[in-house]
Structure 1
Amino acid sequence: MKKFEEKTIRTEHIYDGKVVKLEVDDVTLPDGQTAKRELLKHPGAVAVIPITKDKKIVFVEQYRKPLEKSLVEIPAGKLEPGERPEITAVRELEEETGYTTSDLKLITSFYTSPGFADEIMYIYMTEDLKPLKDAVAGDDDEFVELLELTLDEAKQYAREQRIHDAKTNYAILYLESLERM
């Protein structure tokens, strides 16, 4: 992999926000030329595939401003500084769905958009959902609605592009692969 390495000459910090940081790097390419790279720095994120006792998947519907529309997604959220992904997973599950679990299984992790961002996403699954006695407050600026769908219903939502994000489509494909085994 070293043969493709780009060496950073200079980094310009453009923006330091609540969720992301934007930097522009000047780099030396493997052939000696120079280029600019726009980089989005992100602390990482976690998503959970929550399965109810009656084999339904718990989703949240929420408005996504960059898309100017609502999407149906598996519960997810960003890692807090120093927080282990499994802790984030339980916190987000509780805040977004009103369920908790003590049995999480790590399914995979992946980089969401490695061409410009360093965000890594961890995907967990649980089939041991327990309703919380008391609701946990979520983010003040987050409004979600719960949906419980069968796998077939979720696949239909994907065809209709009501489910249209990578992590949720991955979850559907993963669950579909379990059925075929």
Structure 2
Amino acid sequence: MEHLVEKTVAKKQIFAGKVIDLYVEEVQLPNGKTSKREIVKHPGAVAIIPVTNEGKIVLVRQYRKAMERVLVEIPAGKLEKGEAPIATARRELEEETGYKCETLRHLTSFYTSPGFADEIVHLYIAENLSKLENAASLDEDEFVDVLEVTLEEALQLVKEHQIYDAKTAYAIQYLQLQQMLGEKYE
């Protein structure tokens, strides 16, 4: 696979933000020529599939400025520096939904857009949920509605393009596959 590797020749940071940093890298291609790559550096994130004891999926509805629209998504959030993904998952579940869980299990991790970004999302399933008496607060610039839906209702939200992001579509398809296989969410 070494014949596919691009070697970085030069690297320049052109933006440092609260969520992302942007670099332009000059790379030497496998054929010896050079090219430029614009790379988004991201600290990583978690996403959680919360399933109630009644088998409902807890989702959040929020406005996404980049899309200029409201989307329905599974709870998710950015890793804080030095924070373990499982701790981030617990925190985000509580902040965004007002639920805590007894069982939190890592399912998989995946890159969101490896063509230009290094963001990795760690996907968890949260079960044995209970409502918090004193729910943690959302970030000051975050506003969400919490929904509890059946798998069938979630699939309808996908058809209606209310669920329109990859992590949530992946989560819904995961649950659908588990149901088709007659398995508990393993």
1:101-132 C-alpha deviation (Å, 9 max, x unpaired): 13111111100000000000011001211111
Check the 8 A contact 2:89/2:124 in 1, yes or no.
yes
User: TM-score with structure 2 length normalisation?
Assistant: 0.96
Aligned partner letter, 1:180: M
**Structure 1 unmatched runs, 5+:** none
Structure 1 segments (4+ residues) deviating >3 Å: none
**Identical-residue share of aligned pairs (%):** 57
1:83 maps to 83
The 5 Å alignment of 1:31-46 reads: 31-46=31-46
Aligned partner letter, 1:75: P
CA distance in 1, matches of 2:159, 2:93: 25
1:121-179 C-alpha deviation (Å, 9 max, x unpaired): 01100121111110211210000000101000000000010000000000110000111
Check the 8 A contact 2:104/2:126 in 1, yes or no.
yes
Check the 8 A contact 2:48/2:93 in 1, yes or no.
yes
The 5 Å alignment of 1:2-151 reads: 2-151=2-151
CA distance in 2, matches of 1:83, 1:2: 33
CA distance in 1, matches of 2:96, 2:131: 12
Task: Describe the SS at the equivalent of 2:103.
Answer: coil
CA distance in 2, matches of 1:180, 1:92: 29
CA distance in 1, matches of 2:83, 2:5: 30
Task: Describe the SS at the equivalent of 2:134.
Answer: coil
Task: Describe the SS at the equivalent of 1:128.
Answer: strand
Aligned partner letter, 1:12: K
1:79-115 C-alpha deviation (Å, 9 max, x unpaired): 0111111000000000000001131111111000000
CA distance in 2, matches of 1:116, 1:131: 39
The 5 Å alignment of 1:161-172 reads: 161-172=161-172
RMSD: 0.7
Task: Describe the SS at the equivalent of 1:60.
Answer: strand
**Structure 2 unmatched runs, 5+:** 182-186
Tell me the matched-pair count. Answer: 181
User: TM-score with structure 1 length normalisation?
Assistant: 0.98
1:40-93 C-alpha deviation (Å, 9 max, x unpaired): 000000000000111110000000000000000000000011111100000000
Task: Describe the SS at the equivalent of 1:13.
Answer: strand
1:7-29 C-alpha deviation (Å, 9 max, x unpaired): 11111100110000000000100
Task: Describe the SS at the equivalent of 2:128.
Answer: coil
